Amino acid sequence: MTKKQNRIVSNLYIFIIMAFLYVPILVMIIYSFNNSKSRGAWSGFTWKWYSDLFQNDAIMTALTTTLIVAVVSSLIATVLGTAAAIGIHAMKKRSRTVIMNFTYLPVMSPEIIMGVSLMLLFVLFQVKFSLLTIIAAHITFNVPYIILSVMPKLRQMDVHLYEAAMDLGCTPLQAFLKVMLPEIMPGIITGCLIAFTFSLDDFNVSYFVSGERAQTLPVLIYSMTRKRVSPEINALSAIIFVVVLAVLIIVNVNDVRREKKQQRGGRHA
């Protein structure tokens, strides 16, 4: 095959993969404007599901719970995971390898295993299922993703920068805040966004550790599937998709600008 043919095949392959990923989302967004409750027939354009969405107490309560869990768990996991990554990076090679292997286990294990194990742990210590148990469970499975996001930035960082800051009179805290933290910040932000996203759509773990009063949105949607999923869920899913997409675009644009600024600074130097 010629280079032109290879390029055509590669572009076609990428197009098929992207279509497979995003066409279902596009169909969901389109049907969020469908005047009919039926998912198989189009009966006209309407905004009513978006207006009804904000008047549905069950959905709004579940959405509020989901956002609280996602924000709190991702922020706490970011702090814990960043501190853990820095500590692991400072270890000797053999100890670091062992700890990193244990860090990969929760990522590679099926979520249902973590959900059942956390449920049994809470039952063993007689902890009542509530919003706090959901947050604690989400922190548990989010921390490894933070560690795995921050570790590459720590490896890329010049180890002598921190020592130089200390030699110039910085305290350990000042050297961390002014030298190390800016260097690893892209990894921290990436890990936090990953943790927030995973927490936002988690079902398996939330299902096993949620109580009667604390119910996340994925658990509520699952309970609706036994009857019929309300078209208001399509509207909510469309809003969440657009918001997450906007956040990712903003973060990526900022990363590109930061890299260009660093490249310009390197040329001037």
Geometric angle at alpha carbon 220, from 219 and 222, rounded to 5°: 65
Which residue intervals of the chain are DSSP H helices? 3-31, 48-53, 57-89, 93-108, 111-124, 131-156, 159-167, 172-175, 181-201, 204-209, 217-224, 231-268
Query: Are the C-beta atoms of 89 and 243 separated by less than 8 Å?
Result: no
Tell me the domain boundaries of the chain. Answer: 57-217, 230-269
Whether the predicted pLDDT of 131 surpasses 70: yes
pLDDT tens-place string over residues 4-25: 778 888 889 999 999 998 898 8
Query: What is the number of other CB atoms lying within 10 angstroms of the CB of residue 50?
Result: 17
Query: What is the number of other CB atoms lying within 10 angstroms of the CB of residue 83?
Result: 14
Which residue has better confidence, 171 or 191?
Answer: 191
CATH entry 1.10.10.10 includes domain 57-217: no
Nearest to 139 by CA among 93, 176, 192, 184: 192
pLDDT tens-place string over residues 181-209: 888 998 998 899 899 989 988 999 999 99
Whether the predicted pLDDT of 265 surpasses 80: no
Rg of the chain over Cα atoms, rounded to whole angstroms, equals 23
For residues 103 and 33, what is the distance between their CA atoms, to the nearest angstrom?
Answer: 43
**Residue count of the chain:** 269
Query: Are the C-beta atoms of 47 and 231 separated by less than 8 Å?
Result: no
For residues 177 and 181, what is the distance between their CA atoms, to the nearest angstrom?
Answer: 5
Encoded tokens for 77: 């996991």
Q: At residue 211, what is the residue type? A: G
pLDDT score at 188: 93
Whether the predicted pLDDT of 149 surpasses 90: yes
Nearest to 137 by CA among 59, 224, 211: 211
User: What's the Cα-to-Cα distance from 218 to each of 74, 117, 191, 229, 258, rounded to whole Å?
Assistant: 17, 20, 22, 12, 36
Give the three-class secondary structure for 45: strand
Which residue has better confidence, 200 or 268?
Answer: 200
Q: Which of 138-142, 171-175, 258-262, 264-268 is predicted least confidently?
A: 264-268
Query: Are the C-beta atoms of 236 and 54 separated by less than 8 Å?
Result: no
